[in-house]
Structure 1
Amino acid sequence: MLFRSEERSPSPDAVSRALPEKFSGREGVHYTVKGKGGLVREVVLPAALSERLEERRFETPQRVTDRGVHYGQHYNINGGQKWANSFSQAATRALGWSAGAHGVRHSYAQERMSELQNSGLNRAHALEVVSQEMGHFRPEITETYLR
């Protein structure tokens, strides 16, 4: 579930481990998301995307069930498998191909690594920053996104 950062804070562990370079050079609006393991982490959306998202905000959360999990949905957007399918269909229409929704994570990791290294960070430090931005806090996992 996606929340504005003033509505839900990141998990204390995510905050205490955050490097100062996390999201450096990235302007936008801060939100939080809860991962599979329960960690609430911060994400940054570009302002234009945040504006479009907020236009789709429900006045009161809607009860939704996705793959047997019940939760309150704050925005009138697809999530889970529905979102992944919509993304793939839209990419195929627009580009003629799709690497799927998970492909966006690969693209982000690759672009962000280049950005951080070009700003002067060494590879190991950049890898640590990107792993935190992606929410897994383990650089070895981030390596798989760089292939």
Structure 2
Amino acid sequence: MRGSVYYQSAELTKVIFFEAAKKENRVNPNHEHYACVASFKTMQSYRNIWNNFFNYLKEHFKVKNSELITEDHVKAYIEYKLEYYPSKQYLEKITSALGKLEVALNRYSKLKYEDNPITYDFKIRQELLNSAKDLKLVANNYVNRVYTNPNLIIDNLENDKHKLAAIIQLQGGARAEGVTLIKIEQLKGIKIDEITNKSVGVIETKEKGGKIGDVLVSIETYEALEKYFLENGTSIFKIKYQDYVNDIKSTCQKLNIPHQGTHGFRWTFAQNRVREYQNNGYTYEQALQGVSWEMKHFRASITEHYLGA
């Protein structure tokens, strides 16, 4: 489907919104209004979430056609939202909206490609919702997304640039958007890490919500990034997010390791960094707050999520 985010969401709205459609018809699998939306206010709320989701896909996956949406995209979006600990009600709204998006895409595809429609299945949204806790914690029956042997995964990635991106995430806690595009001016030199008193390289990143901050990596990793710029005669380190995700996923499958996506490296960083704080004389509470700031959050309680506390 071509057109802007807002045009595409409008087109999908047309195939699922039937104002004042009777409830008995909306729950009848044999009726044309089955699973459709009858409330203008509800449809408007869902469409706002669709627009946000589509913009997210444009930014992180370079996906501009809503017909190309997959279950992996839905999973990535919900987990992205979960990192900011939405209320239970908001999370339910997101998953409901994505459920209706699944219905809309299936209806749209059936109308457009009568003989060979695309089938969309976003059941992962319900699994993620079922594992969600209340206002502050992300998962019921806490799911630890830490990689127990992250370096094994990194060493076996197919693409050397993906390896470097993953190492930066693991050592510095950057989000994926912080490593898929790094400009040479973001390299801020060497400094002493105030927590460990060791020399580290500093990469300044701008991530979700425009938050700017330093990502601290080993001297070896920092020099590897400098070497990349020098040897390739470029001022930009850039990788495709979807290729990066696919490389991690296929590598985990080959190694028979549970796949936790790019975010698994960030989780591993959080747990390792809290231990570094504590090993250097900081209290547990100070460690939580410090790591939260380093991960471009504000509340110390957010770090507890990564610890399963």
The answer to whether structure 1 residue 52 and structure 2 residue 224 are counterparts is yes
CA distance in 1, matches of 2:305, 2:292: 11
Q: Report the AA paired with residue 90 of structure 1.
A: T
Aligned to 2:187: 4
Percent identity (aligned): 31
Higher strand share: 1
Gaps spanning 5+ residues in structure 1: where?
7-21, 62-73
Aligned length: 119
Return the offset for 1:131. 0.6
Q: Where in structure 2 are the equivalents of 1:1-147 lying within 5 Å?
A: 1-2=181-182, 3-5=186-188, 24-25=195-196, 26-57=198-229, 59-61=233-235, 74-75=236-237, 77-93=238-254, 95-97=255-257, 98-147=259-308
Q: Secondary structure at the match of 1:137?
A: coil
CA distance in 2, matches of 1:47, 1:91: 27
CA distance in 1, matches of 2:276, 2:298: 19
Q: Between Structure 1 and Structure 2, whose CA radius of gyration is higher?
A: 2
Q: Is the 8 A contact 1:23 1:44 kept in 2?
A: no
Q: Report the AA paired with residue 211 of structure 2.
A: L
Aligned to 2:155: none
Higher helix share: 2
Judged with a 3 Å threshold, the aligned counterparts in structure 2 of structure 1 residues 28 and 80 are, in CA distance, closer, same or farther, namely same
TM-score, normalized by length of structure 1?
A: 0.67
Aligned to 1:11: none
- Structure with the larger RCO, 1 or 2 (CA within 8 Å, 6+ apart): 1
Q: Report the AA paired with residue 199 of structure 2.
A: E
TM-score, normalized by length of structure 2?
A: 0.35
